Amino acid sequence: MDATPATDWEIDEVFARLDPESAREVELAGSDIAQAHQMFSCLASIRQADTIRHEGEVLAVFGWSIIDGAIETGFLAKERFFRPDIPSVRFLGRHFRALQDRSGGIPLISHSYSRRATAPRWFDLIGYDLVATDGPCRTYRLPERSAARQRQRFRHPASGPEGGGREDVGKR
C-alpha cells in the first residue's frame, strides 16, 4: 500500500464507488456526500489529503486539519478497502504516525460513526484510545509522540542481533 497527495480525479474515484457503510457514516455525522466531497477537495487543494492505494488501485481518501493542537481526521473508502486481504490497518498505523511526526508529534483525533464490528479493534491495533462516546459517534485519540520517539529507528526483526537488516521500518 502507499499514499500520495490526493488529486481531484482520485477523490472523484473514491466517491463514485463509495462503500455504502462509509456513505451512511457521512450522514450520521450530520453531513451529506456533496459536502464531504467538497471538504476533501478543499483539503487536497492545501495538500492535507492523501489517496491510499493498493496495487495501484485508489481505495480511500484521508484528510486532516490541525485544530486546537491536534490533528483532526476524515476518512472515506471504497468497499474493497475493508476486505481482509487488504493490509489496511498496518499501513494506516504507519501512515498516521508519520503524519504525527511531520506535525511535531501532536495527537491525532478520529471520530468514527462505523457500525462495523471490526472498527473498534482496528482503532485498538493502530494504537488509538477511545476517549468519548456520544450517540453513534466514538472519538478516538492516537496519543502524542515524544521527540525521542519521533527520531527512534527500529531494526527489522529479520535483521537479527548482528544487524545488517533494514533500519527504516519505523520511518514508513
Q: What is the pLDDT of residues 98-136, one digit of tens each?
A: 999 999 999 999 999 999 988 999 999 999 999 999 999
CATH number of the domain residue 90 falls in: 3.40.630.30
pTM above 0.85, yes or no: no
Pairwise CA distance, residues 95 & 65, whole Å: 15
The domain of 27 spans: 2-171
Question: What confidence tier does 145 reach under pLDDT thresholds 50, 70, 90?
Answer: confident
Number of folded domains that form the chain: 1
Task: Name the strands in the sheet holding 70-77, side by side, starting at the edge strand that comes first in the sequence.
Answer: 2-5, 49-54, 57-67, 70-77, 108-112, 137-142, 129-134
- pLDDT at residue 153 tops 60: no
Burial label, 50 (beta-carbon count in 10 A; 0-12, 13-18, 19+): buried
At residue 149, the pLDDT reads 55
Minimal CA–CA distance to 80: which of 53, 113, 62?
53
Q: List pLDDT tens digits, range 47-104.
A: 999 999 999 999 999 999 999 999 999 999 999 999 989 998 889 999 999 999 999 9
**120 SS3 class:** helix
At residue 170, the pLDDT reads 38
- pLDDT at residue 159 tops 50: no
Pairwise CA distance, residues 133 & 123, whole Å: 14
Chain CA centroid to CA 118, Å: 16
Whether the Cβ atoms of residue 77 and residue 19 lie closer than 8 Å to each other: yes
Task: Return the amino acid letter for 100.
Answer: Q
